[in-house]
Structure 1
């Protein structure tokens, strides 16, 4: 069960991140964390699906990472998170330590495409929340990581940045082995599963 202490601390952190983003005129300087409702839904999915192996592509400062780690803690799982920006990854690790969740998270720094090309073991849940221009190039590697029954891919920002993910969503729709749907939660989540 998610503790009241966790919920209060994560709410405070979310407010802190939102205030930071509001002060930044340059998009790349913003933390651009997932919305609170989206993060909560992901944590619920981890629990209901018993997702022991979770991959997050795009750590940023670790807001969603904390939600995922809190959820896998309840079922004895692990989170693998990828972030290209070493400073952001270090920030996320610091928050994980503050929340006492660092032992549930493996922080990987580098280009996600490199990690995805080398990874072979399937994940139960994958959150894709990175630079949207790379998504199409990730698809073949993502498919090999979604091969176990019940594996789920969640893509963030599909409503708020629909033009930027259009080609990627069309690629998924065209693949007869997968089905997908758009969930109007937060900035819009696309849920993808094997048929």
Structure 2
């Protein structure tokens, strides 16, 4: 299936689905299209080859990430909702990008130890209450010169206060808050 058609279909599905779904755990909570476009440009601009995504949902954001990588690039994506994992897997297959994506099923705290070191790019879009607990592990996986992007940095600013304070206390990290989508916090590791 044509990637642009699939992305458009998933964008509309996500909006319609989340409008009628009352249970948060069943919502897709997809990124906005402008966030997807922004991530795609960042992947290309940073020459990223290895990407870690935390929070796959139905794979909408993963498709933006994977399609922006060079041929030898790869995305590791973590999700703990088995229904969403199955749906994402089907979307990756439809897009013809399944060979560039490794899905990891389970709790992020348990799975981080299984990932390769020197990741180029991390996209963080999951349970914000865990971010502070995994901050040290995340940044130890990120290579020097790598970039972490945290979604919902404006829309859920209060939930990220502890995580942001931890980042501010790290001498090797510098940040920029970009008003795209629901707010993207960019964290560069020197």
In the other structure, the counterpart of 1:122 is 118
Aligned pairs, number: 189
Deviations 1:27-50 (A, max 9, x none): 222110111111111111111111
Query: Are 2:184 and 1:194 aligned?
Result: no
Gaps of 5+ in 1: none
Other structure's SS at 1:107 match:
strand
Question: Structure 2: how far apart are the matches of 1:107 and 1:92?
Answer: 9
Of 93, 106, 128, the match for 1:132: 128
1:105-120 equivalent positions in 2, closer than 5 A: 105-120=101-116
Could you tell me whether the CA contact under 8 Å between 1:59 and 1:92 is conserved in 2?
yes
Query: Are 2:161 and 1:166 aligned?
Result: yes
Question: Structure 1: how far apart are the matches of 2:171 and 2:113?
Answer: 22
Query: Are 2:46 and 1:49 aligned?
Result: yes
TM-score when normalising by structure 2: 0.95
Question: Structure 1: how far apart are the matches of 2:47 and 2:176?
Answer: 21
Question: Structure 1: how far apart are the matches of 2:47 and 2:56?
Answer: 21
Following TM superposition, the consecutive aligned residue runs of length 4 or more in structure 1 with deviations greater than 6 angstroms are: none
Shift of 1:174: 1.2
TM-score when normalising by structure 1: 0.93
Other structure's SS at 1:17 match:
helix
Other structure's SS at 2:102 match:
strand
Question: Structure 1: how far apart are the matches of 2:98 and 2:135?
Answer: 29
Shift of 1:150: 2.2
Of 59, 62, 71, the match for 2:59: 62
Question: Structure 1: how far apart are the matches of 2:133 and 2:65?
Answer: 25
Question: Structure 1: how far apart are the matches of 2:170 and 2:74?
Answer: 29
Question: Structure 1: how far apart are the matches of 2:48 and 2:88?
Answer: 21
In the other structure, the counterpart of 1:22 is 19
Deviations 1:54-101 (A, max 9, x none): 0000101100001111111x3420010000111111110000101111
Shift of 1:8: 3.0
TM-align CA RMSD: 1.2
Shift of 1:17: 1.1
Gaps of 5+ in 2: none
1:143-154 equivalent positions in 2, closer than 5 A: 143-146=139-142, 148-154=143-149
Query: Are 2:56 and 1:82 aligned?
Result: no
